[in-house]
Amino acid sequence: MTTPTTSTDYKVADLSLAEWGRKEIAIAETEMPGLMALREEYAGQKPLAGARIAGCLHMTIQTAVLIETLVELGAEVRWSSCNIFSTQDHAAAAMAAAGIPVFAWKGETEEEYWWCVEQTITGPGGWHPNMLLDDGGDLTAVMHEKHRDLLAEVRGLSEETTTGVHRLYEMERAGTLAVPAFNVNDSVTKSKFDNLYGCRESLLDGIKRATDVMIAGKVAVVCGYGDVGKGCAQSLRGEGARVLITEIDPICALQAAMEGYEVTTMEEAAPVGDLFVTATG
């Protein structure tokens, strides 16, 4: 746990939520043994000393465990969320209370979102990042389009999701990618585990929290049958939904058919679907 400070270098929804966030972080730590093992193995060694990391990743309880691991290993971080709705305000509050510069709250406007991203690029005392941890490519894009002069200090970046990886490949083809980029998304432990099993668990939880609808008997349309789509389709079918799959890749479409799903087009699925899940990257 990071030592609390009186810093005001943050912007969150409600700092009073920090205690609640800290309790959930403690629970999450028991579910993230890899990061906790790193803390134990490198305790006191600070292998990331000198790393200045700008992060643009969903500001959730689990991300808080990652952030505090980076800090314990010696890194300096500044953080924003990569989605205007994904921040868990109690997680952000816990990070701010621990003295970590975080700029994130649920329900940001688009203007506020880009302001938060900008705050991770410049800090007190002329602070600028030398590493980027991105999800979706927005931080990478801002650095290349508005702060290209700062890229000389950046040793590399990591990108977590399919959309961001596609943007990186586009930049590489155009010759505009100025720093080495690490494709986290296509790591086997990401694509074959987080994408499949993580989404299989989180999809239904998200749908029920947001809508409180009964899944059984509904017609669920899953757009895309990659690893994320496979997990989503499994969870919906397990709850009793009739699952339709739309997919442009013939191999993935054939996989869906062989698993017993009805493969169709969006034109045919749209009039009959009750629930629609996009899993296209």
C-beta separation of 144 from 151 below 8 A: yes
C-beta separation of 235 from 203 below 8 A: yes
Q: What domains appear along the chain, each with residue ranges and CATH number?
A: 15-189 (3.40.50.1480), 196-278 (3.40.50.720)
Residues 6+ apart with CB under 8 A from 165: 159, 183, 185, 186
- Quote the pLDDT of residue 6: 56
- Quote the pLDDT of residue 184: 95
C-beta separation of 182 from 156 below 8 A: yes
- Quote the pLDDT of residue 8: 86
- Quote the pLDDT of residue 7: 72
Contacts 24+ apart (CB under 8 A), 164-173: 164/134, 164/135, 164/136, 164/137, 164/140, 166/281, 167/137, 167/140, 167/141, 168/137, 168/140, 171/140, 171/144
Mean pLDDT, the chain, whole residue set: 96
Percent of the chain with pLDDT over 90: 94
- Quote the pLDDT of residue 251: 98
- Quote the pLDDT of residue 281: 76
C-beta separation of 224 from 281 below 8 A: yes
- Quote the pLDDT of residue 169: 97
Q: Whole-structure pTM over 0.85, yes or no?
A: yes
Going by their DSSP bridges, the two strands 156-159 and 242-246 should be labelled as unpaired
Taking 70 as the pLDDT cut, the residues of the chain under it are 1-6
CA pair distance 279, 229, nearest whole angstrom = 5
- Give the three-state DSSP class for 7: coil
